[in-house]
Amino acid sequence: MEGGVDPESGLPLVSLYGSKAKPGPEDLAGLDALVVDLQDAGVRFYTYESTLILCLEAAAEARIELVVLDRPNPLGGERMDGPLRDPTLASSLLSLAPGPLIHGLTLGDMARLVNAGRARPAHLTVVPMQGWRRGMTWADTGRPWVPPSPNLRSAEAALAYPGVCLLEATNVSEGRGTEDPFLLLGAPWMKPDVVRLDVSAPGFALEPTRFTPRDAAVALAPKYRDRACQGLRVGVTDPGAARPYALGLALLGALRKHHPEFRFSREGAGLDGLLGTRRVREGLERGESVDAILALDAPARDSFAKGRKPALLY
């Protein structure tokens, strides 16, 4: 939806997902403040972080206050993993946020970090949570999960999402069009037992399964719609030990190794766009190990962990 009118209040609605990603001066005219109240997923390519950053920019330009109502990071505030964005690649809604792919920040933390780096900071107010600690995953909060978008339907799926979503950039289904997106993966030609035995996934359990994507009411048409797929179901066995990005890399490596049918997709953002770097795809295509790819991220991740400390609220 690009816009419209709210039927209850009569106020105009402006979509920030589609042709417009940033509020324009006309959208903010006459406002005293812009309030951001979003449940993020804790991973850079989920786009809500980019929307926050663009709203911060717009509020600064309009000289109005930006108020962030903070919410838990479902991955916790200590888990950090994955690459930083390569600045030589074009940025997009998938890659505006600073830090590694899994950054361990709440949206309030993120707003403070980004605002501190602006030449002209916005008038920012973050309303912090009470009782949240950085080591908490969603299960630790005791709060019910309300899907922040149609395909992220459970806290378990949110924990698997940073890894299984990487399959979106391939010809393997990531479970869209089923009841369990990001907890199912497969293809008509996949050999699930072979992949399962070749994937080390601490904190997760992988079980062979079959499924048929059917749902047409999704933003992205599901792969293999109405075709039976062989694949794996992802279960979370230990939220604290789970490393979803490492799981995603291991799945990509095993799928490529054991299936001549496997392809990286040329449609959409591709793996480079999702991760903000070419290095990971190139490493996988050279047959590099998951550990080798992860090791290259460590120095930049450790530097970010130190640099983010002044922005942390908890």
Render 107-142 in DSSP notation, one character per residue.
HHHHHHHHHHT-SS--EEEEE--SS--TT--HHHHT
Helix (H, G, I), strand (E, B), or coil: what is residue 203? coil
For residues 42 and 80, the answer to whether their CB atoms sit within 8 Å is no
Q: The domain spanning residue 44 has which CATH number?
A: 3.40.50.12170
Amino acid at position 158, single letter: A
Q: What is the pTM of this model?
A: 0.94
* Among 102, 86, 215, CA closest to 160: 102
pLDDT tens digits for range 122-179 = 999 999 999 999 999 999 999 999 999 999 999 999 999 999 999 999 999 999 999 9
| 174 C-beta neighbours (distance < 10 Å), count | 30
Give the tokens for residue 16.
């920030």
**pLDDT for 259:** 98
Query: Domain limits at 236?
Result: 3-311
Least Cα distance to 76 among 147, 158, 164 occurs for: 158
Q: Is residue 274 within 8 Å of residue 45, measured between CB atoms? A: yes
Domains in the chain, number:
1
pLDDT at 220 over 90: no
